Structure 1
C-alpha cells in the first residue's frame, strides 16, 4: 500500500522500510503526505503503523472522505470545539468515534465496527460478551433417563 501510494504521488515523510527482528519482518512506523482518496492506503485497513495524511478544505469534506470507505471501525477528531466534535460524531459513519484520542480501549464501552469492519459486531462491554455467546434452550423429560 505504501509503495502504491508513492507511485500515485504520495510523499514518504518517515519510515516505509522494514526491520527484521528474529524471524519476523516488521514495517517501521510510516508517515505519508499528499495522499488521495483512490490510494489503497486510504481505502483499506492497513493494520500496520501507517499514517496517511490527506489535506481537505473543510470539516464537511473531511467527514465525506472518512465516510468514503467500505470500512467503518473507528474515526477520530482532534479539536477544542465541543460543537465541532458533536457534529463529527453525528456525521461520521463508524462504530467507534474518538475525540482528542485514538485507539483508547475502555472495557465499559463497546468496540463496534460498521460495514466491513467487524461486520457490525460489538466487542468488549456486556453487549460484546453477548455477541460472542450463543444461547441454547434445553428441555429434558427426566422420566426416561437413567
Structure 2
C-alpha cells in the first residue's frame, strides 16, 4: 500500500516523534514510581543516556519502541519493517540496533546492569511490574 501522505506531511509527522518523555516511557515511570522506587532521568554521563537510572542499585532501564529499536521478538506486531523506502529504513533501523548494542556493552563495562522494556510489554503492566521488581532486587553478579 502506498503512503497516503505527501513527503512533506510524512516528514512533519515523523519530526514530531521525540526521544524523551514518550508515552511508553511515561507509563513505565508511573509504574516504577508507584512501586516505590525512585530514579533519575536521562543521565547523560552514562552510555546511551538511559531513560531511568537507579544509582543506588547501579542499574538502568531503557524503554524501547519496538519499531525504532527493531524488537527481535517474532510475535511483536509493532516491529514490522515499512513496505516502502527500504533503502532508507533498513540502514537507519540497523544503525539504531547497532548503537543499542554498543551502549549496552559500555553500560556493562562500567559495572552497571541494564534492562530493556519493550513498548509491546506495556499491555500487561502486572507482568511488567514483576519483571522490573525482580530486576531491581536481584543482587549484582
- Counting helix residues as a fraction of each chain, which structure ranks higher? 2
TM-score for both structures, normalised by structure 1: 0.27
Answer 1 or 2: which has greater strand percent. Answer: 1
